[in-house]
């Protein structure tokens, strides 16, 4: 990915919506549809998945590796993440809103913190994932969904050095 492409990704709520859907779908599969990601976990996804070094580090890793292995092998992943999460909050919320609006996700507000459930098993046929960059981003999002499902929220934020 080049910097110009990364900048366009970071401003693209449509891609963010698909990334969040892929994350939620993978998360739910890991929990056998018993749980969905919380808002707090979801807010980490876009800043991680549009960050070139993070995507390159994780998109080909084994699903069974886990977030601890990813961070052990690539300690640069959390560097600057807190600032990226803060600077991308508006995009992350726009992406969540769009994903809910087009039927990719459903927000469950019955709990103190909303959870986002996948409403589809596959993307609509007219969405193209042909680009190598998009494929790697979605691959990273799938892994994060699985990995985030295996870690409690507080521990995840500590591992990624993100303040709540």
The boundaries of the domain holding residue 39 are 3-120+128-159
- Please give the pLDDT value at position 4: 55
pLDDT tens digit string along 94-125? Answer: 999 999 999 999 999 877 899 999 998 887 77
Tell me whether residue 164 is in a domain: no
Number of domains in the chain: 1
Q: Confirm whether 105 is domain-assigned.
A: yes
- Give the three-state DSSP class for 103: coil
pLDDT tens-digit series, residues 32-76? 999 999 999 999 999 999 999 999 999 999 999 999 999 999 999
- The Cα-based distances of 22 to 127, 138, 141, 155, 162 in angstroms read 13, 7, 6, 22, 22
Quick check: is 12 in a domain?
yes
């Amino acid at each position: 990915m080049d910097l110009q492409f990364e900048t366009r990704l970071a401003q693209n709520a449509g891609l963010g919506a698909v990334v969040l859907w892929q994350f939620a779908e993978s998360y739910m599969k890991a929990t056998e549809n018993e749980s969905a990601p919380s808002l707090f976990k979801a807010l980490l996804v876009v800043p991680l998945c549009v960050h070139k070094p993070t995507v390159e580090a994780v998109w080909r890793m084994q699903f069974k590796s886990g977030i601890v292995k990813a961070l052990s092998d690539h300690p640069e992943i959390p560097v600057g993440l807190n600032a990226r999460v803060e600077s991308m909050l508006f995009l992350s919320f726009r992406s969540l809103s769009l994903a809910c609006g087009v039927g990719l996700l459903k927000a469950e507000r019955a709990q103190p913190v909303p959870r986002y459930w996948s409403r589809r098993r596959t993307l609509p046929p007219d969405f193209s994932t042909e680009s190598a960059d998009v494929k790697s981003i979605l691959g990273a999002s799938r892994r994060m969904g699985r990995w985030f499902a295996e870690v409690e929220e507080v521990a995840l934020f500590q591992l990624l050095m993100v303040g709540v």
